[in-house]
Amino acid sequence: MFDSLTDKLSSVFKKLRGHGKLTEQNITEALKEVRLALLEADVNFKVVKDFMERIRSRAVGQEVLESLTPAQQVIKIVHEELISLMGGMSSALNLSYKPPIPIMLVGLQGSGKTTTVGKLGKFLKDKGRKPYLVPADVQRPAAIEQLKKLGEQLGLPVFDPDPKESPLTICRKALSWANGEDGDVLLIDTAGRLHIDEPLMKELEEIRREIIPREILLVADAMTGQDAVNVARRFNEALDIQGVILTKLDGDARGGAALSIKAVTGKPIKFVGVGEKLDALEVFHPDRMASRILGMGDVLSLIEKAQEAIDTKKAQELEKKLLKDTFTLEDFREQLQQIKKMGSIDQILSMIPGMGRLKLPQNLQGSEKELVKVEAIINSMTGQERRSPEVLNGSRRLRIAKGSGTTVQDVNQLLKQYLQMKKMLRQFKKGGMRGLAKGLFS
């Protein structure tokens, strides 16, 4: 996400660092390039104009010009203003209300609204809430079935509506149903249109007036740039939304919508969709996003992902196995599965300071496919083979290769890597880092 903008801003700041002492002219030239980079990123023109005025008034002051590290001071100012532009701090859902708490998701067709209802349901369930899903979209064929399937996948209850009834009637009955079933959050999937029209807004306004949702969240597609911003403004004017969920942010190389919505509508981005999987919904943190845009990484999000993905009990068990030298291929598979939970390799790298702008080397670009291949090979082994790889003779290796859709060479390569890893762990156990170094170069 934001690759293009990050590259351009990094280039501007690299030039600034090349000057030992900055003049007002140096700063003015750099800010022109920052302005151009933002416009090319499809950030709203008025937003860019106001943003640049704030930066200019701070950047040409004595605080920067007389600083021992003027370039760093300019970067600091841009970072702070980016955070402010995107809302300053994360904005949580308002769930302080008597359950069931209605939350209404609105948006145009194609923005990913129904899938986002499922993702938000999973997010709330993981936080200990009891979300109920309501398919109130009777316009789009199969929208009701789609939400039912999502609910089944996630283990979440879904209201079963009569598609012939009005969305308002469906919502009214769903609210009564959730109340009787002891649900505490009601996520309502409303109908969209290809564009904003009067019948759509009238339908949504009726639901809002009678159901009185605690939050109305607009689901908007980040990849549509300024169109998403215009949609957000119009929905806000009609319904007074409480926030935005920006979908497909992982595919948005420019970032115009994320940088413009708060300034244009006055309403915060609350969540962002960062992938197709049902756990790919994240709380939007302006400070972390600003750091990523400027290539500074996002260590806090990386730590949170690791904490969510890694089972503490299993990690402790693994530590004991490493110390006892009983690390098996089953343990190896478990570690791969935990790494996969954290996201794609390039997503993880983008959160590490200084790594986000690196182009993945050829051997890492296919690494996710390699992880899938390795897991398939281990899954094709019997329990005995995973625990005692020394029994793997030629015929067993051939069977495993056929069962996993790989080659015998792939199986041999995996076993070689596993044995090398065991050798290094043994050396580490014997002599700490010095023993590990010996194992690496012996």
Residue 19 has pLDDT above 80, yes or no: no
Q: Residue 246: what residue type?
A: L
Q: What is the mean pLDDT of residues 303-312?
A: 57
Question: pLDDT tens digits, residue range 197-254?
Answer: 788 888 888 889 988 899 999 998 888 888 888 888 888 988 889 999 988 887 776 7
In this model, does residue 189 exceed pLDDT 50? yes
Task: Answer with the residue of higher pLDDT: 2 or 123.
Answer: 123
Per-residue pLDDT, averaged over 57-78, amounts to 74
What is the enclosing helix (H) or strand (E) of 255?
none
Band of pLDDT at residue 362, cut at 50, 70 and 90: very low
Task: Find all residues with CB under 8 Å of 188, minimum gap 6, and list them.
Answer: 102, 103, 104, 105, 117, 134, 136, 171, 174, 207, 211, 213
Mean pLDDT of the chain: 80
Check residue 435 and give its pLDDT: 45
Residues 6+ apart with CB under 8 A from 346: 360
Higher pLDDT, 86 or 337: 86
pLDDT digits (tens, 9 = 90+) for 152-180: 999 999 988 888 888 899 999 998 888 88
Predicted pLDDT of residue 402 = 93
Name the CA radius of gyration of the chain, rounded.
26
pLDDT in tens, 123-141: 999 888 999 999 988 888 7
Rounded to an integer, the average pLDDT of 291-310 is 62
Segment 13-18 shows an average pLDDT of 80
For 85, residues 6+ apart whose C-beta sits below 8 A from its C-beta are 47, 51, 259, 262, 263, 286
Q: Is the pTM of this model over 0.75?
A: no
Percent residues over pLDDT 90 in the chain: 21
Average pLDDT over residues 304-326: 61
User: What is the pLDDT averaged over residues 4-31?
Assistant: 81
Q: How far apart are CA 165 and CA 119, in angstroms?
A: 26
DSSP labels for 410-425? HHHHHHHHHHHHHHHH
Average pLDDT on 274-303 reads 77
Instruction: Please give the average per-residue pLDDT across 418-424, as a whole number.
Output: 74
Of 136 and 419, the structure prediction assigns the larger pLDDT to 136
pLDDT value at position 348? 61
> Is residue 393 over pLDDT 50?
yes
pLDDT (tens digit, 9 = 90+) per residue, 41-64? 888 889 999 999 988 888 876 666
Average pLDDT of the segment spanning 2-21:
80
Phi, psi of 61 (to 5 degrees): -80, 175
Beta strand 269-273 with 281-283: parallel, antiparallel or unpaired? antiparallel
H-helix or E-strand spanning residue 185: strand 185-189
Question: Which domains does the chain possess?
Answer: 3-85 (1.20.120.140), 101-296 (3.40.50.300), 304-441 (1.10.260.30)
The token pair at 396 is 């067993």
